[in-house]
Amino acid sequence: MSQDAPRNSIVIAGRYRLEEKLGRGGMGTVWRAYDELLGRAVAVKELHLGDGKEATGALREARTVAQIKHPHVVVVHDVVEHDERPYIVMELVEGGSLADRLTTDGPLDAGETARIGLALLGALSAAHHRGVLHRDVKPANVLMEAGTGRVVLTDFGIARLAGSTTISETGAFVGSPEYTSPERMQGASAGPESDLWSLGALLCAALTGESPFHRDSLGGVLHAVVYDEIRPPAQAGPLIPVIRGLLERDPARRLSVAEAQRPLSAYVTTGSLPSLPLPGRAPGPERPAAAATAPAGYSPTERVTEPAAPGRASKPRPGLRVGLVAALVVVAVSGAVAVTSLLGNDTTGQAQGPVPGAPAASPSPAADPSAARPSAPAAPATATATATVTAVAPAPAPAPVQPASAKPAPAGYRVVTDQQGFALAVPNGFQRSTDAQRVFYVSPDGAIRIGIKVTPATPGGALGAMRVSDTNGPDNNPGYRDNTVVPTTHNGLPAALWEFTWNGFTAAEGPRHTYDLGWDENGRMYDVWVSAPVGRLAQARSHFDAALDSFVPAG
């Protein structure tokens, strides 16, 4: 019988009379129904599955989901079969979905978004405790109960027990690519962290009306999830550190449920966000180190790695280009929302560390320790690689040119128009400093530095220059580690992201972490970075985002 035909007279399992179709998705059709045995309204989800083996597995997993008891998880009343088709009987939540609300009323403010996020963290915690992964956390699967505002996570129809594969025998999985984590796109076994990535994307959607990875094509979505810069929307305001932590591409660096709950709970209660554990910390007993993965298109011999947490070595891994190609083939053939891809790098940007012989751009007396010991000269960002990967003298910087009109500065920042021919937003109180090649804007305590370097474009482009600098990193930065260089884009232009940790200027200050983005534009290569102590990465990343979002180069 047709799944879309009127079902007023259909009674399944001898008691559930199907009445009105409430919605349909890739995994099933949801009906308003009436439980004739208990005399109550219910929701019935008719699963759209293939063979008997798939149906049996879905029923088994649905019964596991039924054991999850939490006020923000939809209540599963029954799991039945009718005409060899599985059905899940659930509580009927009167009210539309979060997706409906965003369509009708527009984006939410930070307070309401935090409330919803906190509720969903509780739901995911309960599911994960039972060993169940949701795997499709998105606004359409979040119900908003009318009258009470209760947040309900529903549609565990494609949930899987933790540890099971996320790929079907056909090489595809069903889900929503714009909310799917990089590791799931890789086709690897995914853990609870994958649901937390989806939650981070959902919070962005709540604040703006759409996923940060929304693109016009599936290929564009894949590229956005794996490679593109991830910068939380300006509307996120105080929630930016939480969203950043959830959208860490390395699952081992992603915020856990508890780590995200604490600041969101404080914000919902007090209206302010406390400090929180930051991505980039060393893995602990509950956060094992994750293997690094090379981006698509790179050979196994290329030194392209996932950024590791401090204290953990980065390890080159073979590329997984075949997985991405297979995903696109599956989509083209089946027409389903099926994807396999790669685990990419966190593309929030990176920054350049000190260069031996160059004065530290800090008002504090701390000196760059690398300048005190013999080492190879620093590889300038415009260097070109040879067989021995040596540095070449930088070309003279182009004559200063006035930039186009500067973009508005976010709260707490001011726009500066630099005499070197660019404009950007820097935090209030940061002071300008220079050396022979670079411009710095330095925090009052000297701990955080925003750096900008403008040079003529070179044949190797930003990616080649960053790779040369990365190769020379151990010579230029004592304790150089957790380093990675990945290709990306900036405002639609080819770019490269470089990230690393090093020992820092002084033992008292401790290690520093650097985020650096370089790109070519109008015949010049622009290099923008932020460097800060590892304990102040939230500030550093906010400053990095503000600098990149507001940066206007010379015309």
Supply the residues annotated as catalytic.
136
- What DSSP character marks residue 179? G
Regarding beta strands 85-91 and 132-133, do their DSSP bridges make them parallel or antiparallel, or are they unpaired? unpaired
Q: Number of helices and strands (H, E) in the chain?
A: 12, 20
Q: Which residues pair with 455 in a beta bridge?
A: 525
Distances from the Cα of 221 to the Cαs of 20, 199, 344, in angstroms? 34, 17, 13
Around Cβ 103, how many Cβ atoms within 10 Å? 12
CA distance 390 to 394: 12
Q: Taking Cα atoms as reference points, which of 300, 297, 246 lies closest to residue 486?
A: 297
Phi–psi pair at 171, nearest 5 degrees:
85, 15
- What DSSP character marks residue 141? G
Asked whether the beta carbons of 240 and 232 are under 8 A apart, the reply is yes
Helix (H) or strand (E) holding 142: strand 142-144
CA distance 86 to 132: 19
Asked whether the beta carbons of 59 and 80 are under 8 A apart, the reply is no
Q: Taking Cα atoms as reference points, which of 310, 305, 238 lies closest to residue 276?
A: 238
Q: Can you give the C-alpha Rg of the chain in angstroms?
A: 26
